[in-house]
Amino acid sequence: MQIGYPLGPASLTAALKAKGIEVKIFDTVFYRFEGELDINDRRAEMLHSVRPVDYSSVGIHDKLTGPMDDLTKLVKDFDPDLIGLTAIESVFARGLELVKCAKKAKNVPAVAGGVFATLAPDIVINEPAIDMVCIGEGEDVICEVAGAMASGRDYTGIKGLWAKKGKEVVKNGMMPLKGLDEVPEPDFSAFDPLLIYRPMQGKLFRTVPVELSRGCPFMCTYCAEPALNGLYRKNGEKGYFRKKSIPKVLGELERTIKEYNPEFFYFATETFLAMTDAEFEAFVEGYRRIKLPFWIQTRVETITRKRIEKLKEVGLYWLTIGIEHGNEEYRKKYLKRHTKNSDVARVIKILDDAGMGASLNNIIGFPFETKELIRDTIDLNHELFSLNNRLRFNVSLFTPFRGCELYDLCVSNGMMEPVPYITHHNISDGSLVRSDFITAEELDGLFRTFNLYVYLPDSYNSRIREAEKFTEKGNGEFNALNAEVEKYLK
């Protein structure tokens, strides 16, 4: 139930259709797999980081049919010549099962792409079900592959592609990057129309994602962006981070309104406010004629009072800010984030003065992290809530994704086994990282009580400490305190 249009496949769809190539998309959003949880439900009911939503109010329900049966029927009906998989690392194993199912229905080549495939192509190409791996952005690559297949030409020498050829793997260099103004505008028409709905603070809006930029100029060690920047620099590029021109973005918004009739825009951009003053002013002035509410994600360093006030004037509804850790020294040394806690508090006060709420992202379970360091993160968030009670707080367990600097740190220090790909989820499956500083049970206890400490007054702390324990008494306290939290949320 992670609803909302995905930009990657939509951009590939647009590129392919522009070349006259037919596309069908199979999406697993509305299927309930065995043992699967609804992340929004968990965040609402246990973590209180979002408000619950009623999917049925817009006609969304779990599919009653099986995903493998439906995929088999789609493949047989559509009769494709090429199968494409996009999947992040934590669901790559599921993606492989779907590819195997599709290839049983029709044995045609399969290509995998996305961040995981780009940063670990040697692992992905080693899977028997995968015939090709797209390294980097895929719009031009997929079109060249499809064009070569349509004309009967050999596709194994196409740039941006690793491809099996007999018992060998042909490893081609990367395709040069395009400016984002040259990339086709995304095409969402091949998706289930109900995917247009996206939850936002307890409401379901007809939402369309908008790409303002790709990549990020910052160097966080738990993120893949630095690796992508490095990969493209080796290929002779300035880096991966690029921005669309503001006139291009505004034109896209206006065309999207006519085509999809959205109620809300979701700027799917790592750091929205990584823009010059001139770009910002052009966006604000242009967006005044758009008028729809919107969401952004940005960083503390990019926020000023003037920018928040102007964005609110033209429709800013909600924003997400990464805090990640509450200890300045740890944050600087291990995460390469150099913001001071005083600057975080100043920005939260700016939001409060503007009447704005925000979601703050936090991670616990980092390498070398102690219980005391996790308490620093809890304490900072508790302080921020006292400054602005409109805030909501996201907490995730650290997941060492391949390609990120902290993955290498964990493996080199014997904190985890270098598995081909992880299958963990960062809010449900416990930690993959072995620690000499905190037990797995202690970490899970702090995870489930994190927002109890943040939202509830200090007078509750002794009860929350009991709720950290997975005992009959601890579970009882957790359930009782969990019910108390809503009294303190605005």
For 442, residues 6+ apart whose C-beta sits below 8 A from its C-beta are: 371, 468
User: Is 317 within 8 Å of 274 (Cβ atoms)?
Assistant: no
For 73, residues 6+ apart whose C-beta sits below 8 A from its C-beta are: none
H helix intervals, 170-304:
225-234, 246-260, 277-287
Average pLDDT score over residue span 252-263? 97
Q: Is residue 37 part of a domain?
A: no
Q: Is residue 259 part of a domain?
A: yes
Domain CATH code at residue 291: 3.80.30.20
Q: Is residue 113 part of a domain?
A: no
Rounded to 5°, angle at Cα 42 from 38 and 47: 160
Q: Is residue 183 part of a domain?
A: no
Q: How do residues 61-115 score in pLDDT, each as one tens digit?
A: 989 899 999 999 999 999 999 999 998 999 999 999 999 999 999 999 999 999 9
Whether the predicted pLDDT of 429 surpasses 70: no
Average pLDDT, the chain: 94
Question: Residue 489 has what pLDDT?
Answer: 86
- Containing domain of residue 247, as a range? 192-488
User: Is 61 within 8 Å of 464 (Cβ atoms)?
Assistant: no
For the range 147-150, what are the long-range contacts, defined as Cβ-Cβ under 8 Å and sequence gap of 24 or more?
147/19, 147/21, 149/81, 149/82, 149/109, 150/21, 150/81
Query: Judging by beta carbons within 10 Å of its beta carbon (0-12, 13-18, 19+), is residue 68 exposed, middle or buried?
Result: middle
Question: Residue 52 has what pLDDT?
Answer: 83
The model's confidence at residue 387, banded by pLDDT at 50, 70 and 90, is: very high
The model's confidence at residue 427, banded by pLDDT at 50, 70 and 90, is: low
Question: Residue 423 has what pLDDT?
Answer: 81
User: Is 363 within 8 Å of 397 (Cβ atoms)?
Assistant: yes
CB count within 10 Å of CB 66 equals: 11
Average pLDDT score over residue span 380-403? 95
Choose among 403, 410, 470: nearest CA to 434. Answer: 410
CB count within 10 Å of CB 396 equals: 19
Q: Is residue 185 part of a domain?
A: no
Q: List the structure tokens of 74.
A: 């789609």
Average pLDDT score over residue span 374-393? 97
Q: How do residues 150-168 score in pLDDT, each as one tens digit?
A: 999 999 999 999 999 999 9
Question: Residue 35 has what pLDDT?
Answer: 62
Q: How do residues 182-225 score in pLDDT, each as one tens digit?
A: 999 999 999 999 999 999 988 999 999 999 999 999 999 999 99
Q: Is residue 229 part of a domain?
A: yes
- The whole model's pTM is what? 0.94
The distance of Cα 66 from the centroid of its chain, to the nearest Å, equals: 26
Q: How do residues 12-50 score in pLDDT, each as one tens digit?
A: 999 999 999 999 999 999 988 766 666 666 676 777 777
Q: Is residue 307 part of a domain?
A: yes
Secondary structure class of 482 (helix, strand, coil): helix
Question: With pLDDT > 90 as the criterion, what percentage of the chain qualifies?
Answer: 88
Rounded CA separation 256/292 (Å): 12
The domain tally of the chain equals 1
Q: How do residues 346-376 score in pLDDT, each as one tens digit?
A: 999 999 999 999 999 999 999 999 999 999 9
String of DSSP letters for 151-164: TT---TT-TTEEEE
User: Is 212 within 8 Å of 243 (Cβ atoms)?
Assistant: yes
Question: Residue 92 has what pLDDT?
Answer: 95
Q: Is residue 34 part of a domain?
A: no
| φ, ψ (nearest 5 deg) of residue 258 | -65, -35
